C-alpha cells in the first residue's frame, strides 16, 4: 500500500481558521488607520488654507477672501481648492472652517 503525502482535512481547517482570525484582526485596523489618515489630511488642508488666508490679508488688508479669490490671487492651486471643497472647507470672516 502506497503512503499518501499531503494535508489532512483537520490541518487544512486549522490553517483556514488561523487565516480567518488574522483577517478579522487586520481589516478593522486598516479601516481605522484610513479614517485617521483622512482626519490628519483634513487638518493639514485647514492649516494650509488658513496660512494662505493670512498671507492674502497681509497683502490685501481690506479683502475678504474665499477659496475662489485665493485661487485667483495665486495663493492656492486649483487642485488645493478642489480638495478643500471636497472636504467641506470654507472661509468665513477671514477664518477657515471645516
Q: The domain containing residue 89 runs over which residues?
A: 10-97
Q: What is the mean pLDDT of the chain?
A: 88
In a domain, 1, yes or no: no
In a domain, 43, yes or no: yes
Distance CA 25, CA 84 (A): 33
Taken in order 47, 53, 58, 62, is the CA torsion positive or negative?
negative
In a domain, 5, yes or no: no
- Give the pLDDT confidence score for residue 37 in this predicted structure: 92
Q: Total domain count for the chain?
A: 1
Dig out the grid coordinates for 28 from the structure: 478593522
Question: Over pLDDT 70: what percentage of the chain?
Answer: 96
Dig out the grid coordinates for 57 from the structure: 490679508
DSSP string of 45-72?
HHHHHHHHHHHHHHH-TT----HHHHHH
pLDDT of 23 strictly over 80 = yes
Tell me the pLDDT band of 30, cut-offs 50, 70 and 90. Answer: confident
- Give the pLDDT confidence score for residue 75 in this predicted structure: 92
pLDDT of 27 strictly over 90 = no
Distance CA 87, CA 42 (A): 7
Taken in order 30, 36, 42, 44, is the CA torsion positive or negative?
negative
Distance CA 49, CA 60 (A): 16
Amino acid at each position: 500500500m502506497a503512503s499518501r503525502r499531503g494535508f489532512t482535512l483537520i490541518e487544512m481547517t486549522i490553517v483556514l481558521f488561523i487565516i480567518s482570525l488574522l483577517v478579522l484582526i487586520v481589516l478593522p485596523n486598516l479601516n481605522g488607520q484610513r479614517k485617521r489618515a483622512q482626519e490628519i489630511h483634513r487638518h493639514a488642508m485647514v492649516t494650509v488654507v488658513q496660512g494662505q488666508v493670512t498671507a492674502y490679508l497681509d497683502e490685501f488688508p481690506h479683502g475678504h477672501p474665499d477659496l475662489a479669490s485665493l485661487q485667483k490671487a495665486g495663493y492656492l492651486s486649483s487642485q488645493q481648492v478642489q480638495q478643500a471643497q471636497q472636504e467641506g472647507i470654507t472661509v468665513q470672516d477671514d477664518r477657515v472652517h471645516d
